[in-house]
């Protein structure tokens, strides 16, 4: 149910998101996040390296990177060299922080075996306010280790129940 009390399907919310002017698809966000991760270590990344890291084919990377370049997030040069623009750095930083926040939140919940998969599936569908609240909860648990310990104990006791 949305703020007006209307239910929507997942596809309905996706269409609303597109209409709100959100520029990037979840796939494009993944590419930009990985480019940002790489560019923290070096000034650029190459198409082949990005393809390998994302487990996709180089032509797919080239297409997506061209779209990111058209939107002003990256500069795409000859021989497959990709560099972030200031706009790309700003969004890339947010995307990585969002990923880390959700991953930490799920880790606190006790998700282990499918942590990366669950993080990847969730991250594109949460709004900034929800991510902010998760970040605050993570910070709260980090300084209130007694609460985290009680949660962990409770979780373990529940696993043992039939």
Mean pLDDT calculated for residue range 17-22? 58
* Of 89, 27, 36, residue with least CA distance to 55: 27
Q: For residue 59, how far is the Cα from the chain centroid?
A: 23
Least confident stretch, 17-21, 115-119, 139-143: 17-21
Domain around 44: 23-89
Of the three residues 89, 117, 133, the one that is the final residue of a domain is: 89
Region for residue 80 given its phi and psi (left: phi exceeds 0; alpha: psi -120 to 50; beta: otherwise): left
Tens digit of each residue's pLDDT (9 = 90 or more) over 30-76:
999 999 999 999 999 999 999 999 999 999 999 999 999 999 999 99
Predicted local confidence at residue 3, as pLDDT: 58
Q: Tell me, yes or no, whether 156 and 95 share the same domain.
A: yes
SS3 85: coil
Q: Tell me, yes or no, whether 32 and 77 share the same domain.
A: yes
Determine the Cα–Cα distance for residues 91 and 75; give it in Å rounded to an integer: 15
CATH number of the domain to which 116 belongs: 1.10.60.10
Query: Is residue 3 situated within a structural domain?
Result: no
Mean pLDDT calculated for residue range 24-30? 93
DSSP-assigned states of every residue in 122-155: HHTT--HHHHHHHHHHHHHHHH-HHHHHHHHHHH
Q: Give the pLDDT band (50/70/90) at residue 11.
A: low
Query: Could you tell me the pTM of the whole model?
Result: 0.85
Of the three residues 42, 58, 89, the one that is the final residue of a domain is: 89
Q: Tell me, yes or no, whether 52 and 73 share the same domain.
A: yes
Q: Tell me, yes or no, whether 80 and 135 share the same domain.
A: no
Predicted local confidence at residue 92, as pLDDT: 97
* Of 28, 23, 102, residue with least CA distance to 61: 28
> Total domain count for the chain?
2
Tens digit of each residue's pLDDT (9 = 90 or more) over 71-97:
999 999 877 899 999 999 999 999 999
Beta bridge partners of 75: 83
């Amino acid at each position: 149910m949305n703020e007006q009390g209307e239910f929507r399907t997942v596809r309905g919310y996706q269409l609303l998101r597109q209409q709100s002017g959100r520029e990037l698809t979840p796939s494009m966000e993944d590419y930009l996040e990985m480019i940002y991760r790489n560019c923290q270590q070096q000034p650029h990344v190459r198409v082949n390296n990005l393809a390998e890291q994302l487990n996709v084919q180089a032509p797919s990377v080239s297409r997506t990177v061209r779209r990111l370049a058209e939107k002003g997030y990256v500069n795409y040069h000859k021989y497959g060299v990709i560099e972030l623009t200031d706009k790309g750095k700003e969004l890339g930083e947010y995307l990585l922080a969002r990923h880390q926040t959700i991953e930490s939140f799920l880790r606190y919940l006790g998700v282990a075996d499918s942590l990366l998969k669950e993080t990847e599936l969730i991250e594109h569908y949460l709004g900034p306010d929800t991510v902010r609240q998760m970040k605050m909860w993570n910070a709260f648990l980090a300084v209130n280790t007694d609460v985290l310990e009680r949660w962990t104990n409770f979780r373990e006791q529940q696993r043992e129940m039939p």
